[in-house]
Amino acid sequence: MEVCLFLLTHCDDAGKARPPVDPLLLEAASREIKGLTPGLTRFVIHLPAESPDSDPLSKTHASSPCCALQWYFDDLGLLEAALQADGAMHGIVDRITNAAEFNLTFAQQVMAVRPFATPNPGGADPRAERCTYLVSYEGEAEDFNAWLTHYITHHPPLMAQLPGIRELEIYTRLEYRSGLSIPRATAMQRNKVVFDNPEALAAALASPIRAHMKQDFNAFPPYSGPTPHFPMRSIYGNLKPT
């Protein structure tokens, strides 16, 4: 199963935005490790986006993400090796998290990647900018096995019907070894639904499919905790040999 390293940073507790993060600096840092990190296949840079939010499941959250980075690996062992003190990822991540240009505090989390097919994954160039709706389940389910069984069985088929959806991934928490000194995020689950642009995301959130998703949401096994939803600009990079 593919795994993903998330690096996440948020605005301050008062919800004040920090200076914008330059995606070119992040992309250059990510590409610098090309060929040096076995198992690394691709990366995505997420930055805040403006989008009309008609999602009835969206909840107010004091700390919105200022930046989220995803690095995908095809093997957990290779990712763990890259995260050790002498690993290829360690130096680059350390530089990003301590860069004076960013002045941001990052947290790390490694998660299992569960991709789901969408009716029309084509459209825009896969390396072009898209619009992503990132969702995280920050709390805990009473019975995670019951939660995940219900969620995986019922919710992705509904999400895949959202008009204009290009990608759908669900991430679940993993235990992992890391030599990074930054804090660990502990989200139980994350979701990513991807659209061509903010207008396509807004149209999807206003579609009748949302009512069916609301019905399923109300049928979820017991869970307590915040579930923040945020629109993000997503810049794609592909590190596979061409």
pLDDT of residue 220: 95
pLDDT of residue 138: 94
Does residue 150 contact residue 219 with C-beta atoms inside 8 Å?
yes
In this prediction the pTM is: 0.88
Dihedral, 99, 27, 52, 172 alpha carbons, nearest 10: -90
Instruction: Write the CA distances from 184 to 28, 85, 128, 177, 241, integer angstroms.
Output: 24, 16, 30, 11, 31
Tokens of 187: 């989200």
Low-confidence ranges of the chain (pLDDT < 70): 11-22, 24-25, 28-35, 51-64, 99-103, 123-127, 238-242
Domain ranges of the chain: 3-238
Q: What whole-number distance in Å separates Cα of residue 52 and Cα of residue 205? A: 9
pLDDT of residue 60: 46
Pick the closest to residue 165 from 209, 217, 114 (CA basis): 209
Tokens of 226: 């915040």
Helix (H, G, I), strand (E, B) or coil at 216: helix
- Burial of 108 (C-beta count, 10 Å sphere; 0-12/13-18/19+): buried
pLDDT of residue 236: 86
Q: Which CATH topology does 3-238 take?
A: Alpha-Beta Plaits (3.30.70)
pLDDT of residue 56: 46
Report helix, strand and coil shares of the chain as percent, to nearest 5. Answer: 25, 30, 45
pLDDT of residue 154: 95
Does residue 112 contact residue 174 with C-beta atoms inside 8 Å?
yes
β-strand partners of 237: 43
Pick the closest to residue 237 from 131, 128, 130, 79 (CA basis): 128
pLDDT of residue 117: 96
